[in-house]
Structure 1
Amino acid sequence: MQGLPSEVLSTIFISLMAIHTYGDRCSSLEHVQWEVQKALPLVCRSWNQVAVGTPDLWTYICLNLRSTPDEMMKKLSLSGSCPLDVRISLDNTDAKPPTTQFRIAYNILVQSVDRCRSFVFDGLALCPEDVSPYIPAVLPKVVEAGYRVRVDDRDEVTPIPEEENDQP
């Protein structure tokens, strides 16, 4: 792609991320988008310059249990002042509590909540109340939001006794 103007290359890069849609459909694309963000700057020096100089490429932010504070600050910085499409994914099959590293990254992200265009929470919890600390109370510019929690019911459940019928 030598000879392509940086504006054209930037548009191509953005179109790779444009497959992102809101709601349930984005969960299957999450990995692809993250790989695009990681891979494009590594191709060559000129692609790196274009990718780093294209804020729209960095507006998709997925916060998960492996996220680091440095990674969060870098993405927020690279996204400039563009609106953000945020996904918090706590799909943790081990039901481990979020780490200190995750909590710091989350707190960094929350400072930019006024830039969120979309917000999706997707997680596994012991009970739905466990996720409330990770959903901002106010999302002033969000035009689309999603919330999906799978409750972990792997523990033995005591059956609820059926009501006895009072028959004469």
Structure 2
Amino acid sequence: ARLTSITDPIKIWEEPRDLGILPFDANSSVRFDRDELNKHSAGVSYSVDELSVVDFLASLANEPTLPGNGFSFTPVTVGEVVRAVRHFITGARGVDGVPAFVIKASLSFFFPLLTKLFNLSFSSCSSPDAWKRSSVIALDKVKNPSSLDDFRPIALLCFFSKVLKRLASLSPNFSPNCLAETQL
């Protein structure tokens, strides 16, 4: 609606830049080094010892289910996994580089395996290390950033970690008030 009221061509092209749809002018006088942005937004760690998805699944094969009558997730069904995957409309690629549309297009082949993987994650109270990683990018908060505080870091998560979180939040045993958002 704002674009319809603008008649100046320069102002028209500024709108998509302000919204982050188009990049800002490459001749801008203020530039920040990638390392500066990273240091300013640091907080995510990475371990070279993390397990691959295959190694994670192998490690679960010999582990017993945790004993006790405490909290547990109800096993998810194939239909719930399909609905959880289809819930997401994002086109962003996570750290794994796999776009959601590839997973959605492959659902008929993968959904039984995904269902088993999500249920193993719930029963073992764990998930593959690769799902815990993210790619952090800095978005401009203002039109012409002049300081590191003018950027907002966002994390692009692995698509499967988003689906796991969605399934966990839909579990009948899950209460949104019992865990902090950061614990999911």
TM class by shorter-chain length?
Answer: under 0.3
Compute the TM-score of the two structures, normalised by the length of structure 1.
0.28
What's the TM-score, normalizing by structure 2? Answer: 0.26
By relative contact order (CA 8 Å, sep 6+), the higher-ranking structure is: 2
Report which of the two has the higher share of strand. 1
